[in-house]
Amino acid sequence: MNPATALATVLVDELVRCGLTDVVLAPGSRSAPLALALHAESRVRLHVRIDERSASFLALGLARRSERPVALICSSGTAAANFHPAVIEAGESGVPLLVLTADRPPELRGTGANQTIDQIKLYGGATRWFAEVGVPEDRPGQVAYWRSLACRAYQRAAGAGNPGPVHLNLAFREPLIPEGDTTWSEPLDGGANGPWVRARVAPPPIALHIPPTRRGVLVVGDGAANVRRYVAAAGMAGWPVLSEPNGGGRYGDHAISTYHYLLSTPEFADAHRPDVVVTLGRPGLSRPLLSWLKRADEHIVVAPDLDRWPDPTRSATQVAQAVEIPVASGDDTWLHAWRQADLAVRAAMDEVLDLSGTSEPRLARDLVDALPNGALLFCGSSMPIRDLDQAMRPRRGIRLMANRGASGIDGLVSTAMGAALAHNGPSYALIGDLSFLHDQNGLVLGPREPRPDLCLVVVNNDGGGIFSLLPQAAVRDPFERVFGTPHGVDLGYVAAATGTPYTLVGDLSDLSKAMRGEGPRVVEVRTDREENALVHARLRDVAQEAVRAYLAG
């Protein structure tokens, strides 16, 4: 057996023994040993994509939804470089990826040899761990090295408390495909029962106990862990819960869905300064919330891994791996004030949204309301997730996700595809037109590839809608070209190019019907950027009027 085939066979087998179930492959020559080993491995689900960037974000979506390491494989050269954006997102948002890049052997590096670049630590600090595996050789000891290395890589990616991407760089000499001789200097078999190395999970950390108080608040951001337990504890303590849509805590009687507008009203923010705020995950959608966090007497950040804790406002006073929120005695004046103000703002907002035609905040609100229980909603990283944050009503029974680690707009179609493939139920995505065009290759599926049940709802405002809500909009002369960036693309033709079913929705009352179907499909909703900016301004005005009226009453 040639060394390249031996290494690939052993590595794939050991990763499967560790728990690997999904692999995404971008085709290439130098990665042939891995590709052939995977094609012969019936215990994994193989996904093949012709575009490395699309492949990497597909793997990201699979790993994000399944919360298990997913392997990602490519050939050498710029193929590996195209993985970088997804690796960055995985690193920032704690998604377990196993990145296996094939490489030329050392004797070809730095010589001008074809498709050869420096792949050593190619992704820099974005990975949790890197290993240059070395050129495989037919000598005793290699199998123990390869199998223990695979176990270490899998566990470092899964990372108890700190999951993320791991990079193995694999240099293969030719021949790259199996030959007739199957002999090897030592048995290639793995352990009799499971992986070569068994990793044991550490016991749960001792929780930080907070003094009882009714004037507490639970904030839930992206990537939060153990959300249900903390939301239940906050409910027992009489705390309001301010959860971003992708935080997973916007449900129940304690969920305050209009916090963005409440905290942007100075009178309310001043009167509702908490004794303590407990933050889960990474909040980052609402500037008023981030500003308000700085004013808490005590701000406790819950971070399962104390080497990495989110604190963008530099307002954390304590960081703990776990927190115990005690039941507090006394009246419910604190929670009642939050809930009554929330109801007042919600009523005022819904009145505006109901009359706003095909506006983007109304689309976000109505889309969530229309989703069936058990559905997954993947959200675009720019305006869609913000519209959901500001307009979505509390509800149970759905899962929301977004690429908010680095918050890029690239790879969103592919991420949604991957998340849908890992989700047991119907899946939907709400993304903008630029994000859709940026990753239109995500619609390219080979005839033998697993096909997700995914409806992509694309908001088409012919450009970058978020800039119309930022100070850049005041610079009228260059705005359209350098910020608005209109494209004039007919999205129906984009969908048709890949044979993806397509529907244009002219009235939001037709949205539920348009989303029905199976497999990948596109629903387009066209909006106007200037009209959308006016709707956002009106929402802000009526929300603040409602808050002030409540405070005065």
pLDDT score recorded for residue 480:
76
Predicted confidence band of residue 475 (pLDDT cuts 50, 70, 90): confident
- Do 329 and 364 share a structural domain? no
Mean pLDDT of 216-234: 96
Confirm whether 200 is domain-assigned.
no
In a domain, 484, yes or no: yes
Question: 288: cis peptide before it, omega within 30°?
Answer: no
Residue 492 resides in a domain? yes
Give the angle subtended at the CA of 520 by the CAs of 519 and 525, to the nearest 5°: 130
Q: Is residue 425 scored above 80 in pLDDT?
A: yes
269-316: per-residue pLDDT in tens?
999 999 999 999 999 999 999 999 998 889 999 998 888 899 999 999
Residues 229 and 375 in one domain: no
What integer best gives the mean pLDDT of the chain?
A: 95
Q: Classify residue 159: in a domain, yes or no.
A: yes
468 pLDDT higher than 80: no
Q: Residue 151: pLDDT band by 50, 70, 90 thresholds?
A: very high
- pLDDT tens, residue by residue, 5-14: 999 999 999 9
Residue 158 inside a domain? The answer is yes
| 115/359 Cα distance (integer angstroms) | 48
Contact 369, 393 (CB under 8 A): yes
- Supply the pLDDT for residue 37: 97
**Structural domains in the chain (count):** 3
**89 compared with 159, residue with greater pLDDT:** 89
Question: Would you say residue 546 lies in a domain?
Answer: no
pTM: 0.95
User: What is the secondary structure of 391-439 as a DSSP string?
Assistant: HPPP-SSEEEEE--SS--STTHHHHHHHHHHH-SS-EEEEEEHHHHHHT
Do 163 and 227 belong to one domain?
Answer: no
> The domain that contains 265 carries what CATH number?
3.40.50.1220
Residue 230 sits in the same domain as residue 322 = yes
Overall average pLDDT of the 136-158 stretch: 96
The mean pLDDT value for 106-116 works out to 91
Same domain, 161 and 67: yes
Picking from 142, 171, 200, the residue at the C-terminal end of a domain is 171
Can you point out the beta strands (E) in 205-266? Answer: 208-209, 216-220, 241-243
Asked if residue 139 and residue 7 are part of one domain, the reply reads yes
- For residue 81, give every residue at least 6 positions away whose Cβ sits within 8 Å of its Cβ, in sequence order, or none: 117, 122
> Is it the case that residue 94 has pLDDT exceeding 90?
yes
- Full residue range of the structural domain in which residue 227 is found: 208-334
**Average confidence (pLDDT) over 312-325:** 95
- Are 521 and 384 in the same domain? yes
Can you name the residues that pair with 91 across neighbouring β-strands? Answer: none
CA nearest to 379, candidates 356, 402, 359, 363: 402
- Pair (330, 391) in one structural domain: no
Indicate if 298 and 425 belong to the same structural domain.
Answer: no
Residue 542 lies in a domain: no
Residue 92 located in a structural domain: yes
Of 114-118, 184-188, 214-218, 470-474, which gets the smallest average pLDDT?
A: 470-474
For the beta carbon of residue 152, count every other beta carbon within 10 angstroms.
18
pLDDT digits (tens, 9 = 90+) for 179-199: 888 899 999 999 888 999 988
Predicted pLDDT of residue 347: 97
Shared domain for 133 and 241, answered yes or no, is no
Q: How many residues are listed for the chain in this entry?
A: 553
Are residues 127 and 49 part of one domain? yes
> CA 528: distance to chain centroid?
28
Task: Assign residue 501 the CATH number of its domain.
Answer: 3.40.50.970
Q: With contact defined as beta carbons under 8 Å apart, do 87 and 97 qualify?
A: yes
Whole-number Å distance between alpha carbons of 33 and 44: 16
Largest Cα span, the chain: 87
Percent of the chain with pLDDT over 70: 100
| Structure tokens that stand for 229 in this block | 């337990």
Residue 182 pLDDT? 85
Pair of tokens at residue 240: 């309001």
User: Average pLDDT of 80-94?
Assistant: 97
Q: Could you tell me whether strands 276-280 and 216-220 are parallel, antiparallel, or unpaired per DSSP bridges?
A: parallel
User: Is the confidence at residue 351, as pLDDT, over 90?
Assistant: yes
Are residues 297 and 371 located together in one domain of the fold?
no
Residue matched to tokens 């209009």: 258
Give the model's confidence band at 174: pLDDT under 50 very low, under 70 low, under 90 confident, else very high: very high
